[in-house]
């Protein structure tokens, strides 16, 4: 579903697509770190997601 949105936005605004992709990469990195180490997400911000 997200891929179709990205293709739709790509025709309109490439900067927006770039921002979405960066955000998605960051989110995946946070999830990978969480599952690899078993630590809560966003520990530095003291926002613990359970």
* pLDDT tens-digit readout, 1-49: 566 766 666 677 778 778 888 888 888 888 887 777 666 555 555 555 5
The Cα-based distances of 9 to 22, 24, 34, 36, 50 in angstroms read 15, 15, 30, 33, 33
pLDDT value at residue 50: 46
Q: Is residue 29 part of a domain?
A: yes
Query: Radius of gyration (Cα) for the chain, nearest Å?
Result: 14
Domain total for the chain? Answer: 1
Q: Is residue 26 part of a domain?
A: yes
Is there a domain that residue 50 lies in? no
User: Is residue 48 a contact partner of residue 41, using CB atoms and an 8 Å limit?
Assistant: yes
pLDDT at 3: 66
In a domain, 46, yes or no: no
- Tell me the residue range of the domain where 30 lies: 2-37
Could you tell me if residue 22 is inside a domain? yes
Which residues make Cβ contacts (< 8 Å) with residue 49, sequence separation at least 6? Answer: 40, 41, 42
Q: Is residue 16 a part of any domain in this protein?
A: yes
């Amino acid at each position: 579903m997200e891929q179709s949105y990205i293709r739709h936005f790509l025709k309109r605004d490439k900067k927006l697509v770039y921002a979405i992709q960066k955000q998605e990469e960051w989110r995946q990195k946070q999830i990978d770190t969480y599952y690899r180490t078993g630590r809560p997400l966003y520990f530095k911000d003291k926002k613990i997601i359970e």
